[in-house]
């Protein structure tokens, strides 16, 4: 066997949310209502041309996003999911043995892409499942090259206050890249969203990442995008693989942008069910983290994989969070009303409320 590079040997295999036939899948934070019908129609329209390579620059989608964000096209990059853009960012800006900072319990790809490019991932302590700006300030050093901020945070769902993000951006030296991952930003209430479109004008070291996999319901097509200053995006394009986004994915994503009311409706439904799920879990003795995303995170009071296995047997797939460094926590995607009702009934049947009163943060 040919041994992989030493840094690759240190990267754990990604552990995705799983399910089984007949179970309600609440383990991967997908939109239970699916994509806009126009996105599905766009897929069918473009399908006959799949024998041709896609547009290298995803020009149609960049143009649509430029109008959506009110930003110049040259300040946008399209990726095969926002995950790919994380790897591109690390490959573009991280030098060997330089450090990247990310919260202790957050999306694993930040640490993985850092290791992939022979960097040193640094885990920053959190406070009650939330990013701690003061801790990030303390951990900044001469070797820091990238700061990853997941807002809202996956897997806890907590969101940073807009002024906390702005204060941290002001504090971080401009030679350090700040990657603000906003995969779940559509689910954040309007008054709590940071003004990231304006912030990229003010901070040339800020790269904002978003995705069509969540609120837009296109997880299976893998489309994400980033935006920032033109010079930063131009550097990313030197590393971006050619033809990285398929023509059908681009067409569907562009069509999904045409009717903002569809996403607003999905977000409103999610907010209602998120509140109902959180309340129901609280009544069962759990203490959900305050979520601004399309999922709810709780400490199960037992080994997470055992709790998840019991729910899987009851017909509901949730995500155990051992791979996030939370051995007793699970993440539950917000589903449809019938999913919420069925899940809460299943948990109540499996675990009596008094036994959960000792759950810990």
Q: Which of 16-20, 205-209, 263-267, 348-352 has the lowest mean pLDDT?
A: 348-352
Indicate whether 101 pLDDT > 70.
yes
pLDDT score for 225 = 98
pLDDT score for 356 = 45
* Cα Rg of the chain, angstroms: 20
Indicate whether 235 pLDDT > 50.
yes
pLDDT score for 17 = 87
pLDDT score for 219 = 97
Confidence class of residue 357 from pLDDT cuts 50, 70 and 90? very low
Confidence class of residue 130 from pLDDT cuts 50, 70 and 90? very high
Mean pLDDT over 296-314 rounds to 96
Residue 107 Ramachandran class (φ > 0 left, ψ -120 to 50 alpha, else beta): beta
Indicate whether 67 pLDDT > 80.
yes
Cα separations (Å) of 139 from 123, 146, 168, 174, 222? 9, 12, 12, 16, 33
Mean pLDDT over 47-58 rounds to 95
Highest CATH level, class, for 37-256: alpha beta
* Mean residue pLDDT across the chain: 95
Indicate whether 259 pLDDT > 70.
yes
pLDDT in tens, 131-140: 999 999 999 9
Mean pLDDT over 325-339 rounds to 98
Indicate whether 167 pLDDT > 60.
yes
pLDDT score for 6 = 87
Strands (E), 127-234: 144-150, 177-181, 206-211, 224-227
Q: To the nearest whole percent, how much of the chain has pLDDT over 70? A: 97
Confidence class of residue 128 from pLDDT cuts 50, 70 and 90? very high
Indicate whether 33 pLDDT > 70.
yes
pLDDT score for 352 = 62
pLDDT score for 175 = 97
Residue extents of the structural domains in the chain: 19-33+261-356, 37-256
Indicate whether 354 pLDDT > 70.
no
Question: Which pTM does this prediction carry?
Answer: 0.94
CATH of domain 19-33+261-356: 3.90.1150.10
Q: Is 103 buried (19+), middle (13-18) or exposed (0-12) by CB count in 10 A?
A: buried
Which of residues 351 and 175 earns the better pLDDT score?
175
- H helices of the chain, in order, are 6-9, 37-46, 59-69, 82-93, 109-116, 133-139, 162-171, 196-202, 230-239, 247-256, 260-283, 304-313, 337-350, 353-356
pLDDT score for 82 = 97
List residues bridging with 147 in a β-sheet.
Answer: 101, 178
pLDDT score for 9 = 87
Nearest Cα to 171, choosing from 139, 193, 196?
139
List residues bridging with 209 in a β-sheet.
Answer: 181, 226
Indicate whether 252 pLDDT > 50.
yes
């Amino acid at each position: 066997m040919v041994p992989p590079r030493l840094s690759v040997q240190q990267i754990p295999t990604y552990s995705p949310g799983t399910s089984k036939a007949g179970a309600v899948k609440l383990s991967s934070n997908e939109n239970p209502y699916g994509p806009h019908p126009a996105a599905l129609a766009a897929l069918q329209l473009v399908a006959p041309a799949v024998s041709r390579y896609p547009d290298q620059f995803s020009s149609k989608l960049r143009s649509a996003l430029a109008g959506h964000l009110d930003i110049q096209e040259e300040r946008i990059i399209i990726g095969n999911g926002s995950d790919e853009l994380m790897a591109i960012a690390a490959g573009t800006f991280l030098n060997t043995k330089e450090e990247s900072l990310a919260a202790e319990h957050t999306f694993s790809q930040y640490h993985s892409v850092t290791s992939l490019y022979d960097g040193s991932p640094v885990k920053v302590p959190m406070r009650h499942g939330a990013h701690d700006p003061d801790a990030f300030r303390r951990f900044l050093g001469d070797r820091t090259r990238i700061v990853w901020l997941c807002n809202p945070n996956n897997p806890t769902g907590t969101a940073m206050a807009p002024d906390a993000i702005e204060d941290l951006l002001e504090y971080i030296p401009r030679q350090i890249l700040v990657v603000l991952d906003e995969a779940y930003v559509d689910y954040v209430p309007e008054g709590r969203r940071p003004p990231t479109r304006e912030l990229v004008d003010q901070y040339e070291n800020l790269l904002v990442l978003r995705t069509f996999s969540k609120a837009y319901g296109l997880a299976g097509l893998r489309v994400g995008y980033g935006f920032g200053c033109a010079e930063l995006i131009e550097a990313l394009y030197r590393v971006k693989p050619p033809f990285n986004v398929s023509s059908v994915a681009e067409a569907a994503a562009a069509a999904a942008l045409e009717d903002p009311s569809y996403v607003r409706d999905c977000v409103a439904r999610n907010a209602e069910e998120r509140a109902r799920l959180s309340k129901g879990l609280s009544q069962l003795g759990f203490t959900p983290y305050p979520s601004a995303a399309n999922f709810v995170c709780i400490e199960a009071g037992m080994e997470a994989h055992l709790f998840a296995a019991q729910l899987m047997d009851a017909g509901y797939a949730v995500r155990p969070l051992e791979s996030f460094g939370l051995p007793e926590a699970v993440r539950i995607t917000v589903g449809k009303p019938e999913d919420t009702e069925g899940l809460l009934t299943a948990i109540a049947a499996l675990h009596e409320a008094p036994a959960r009163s000792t759950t810990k943060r």
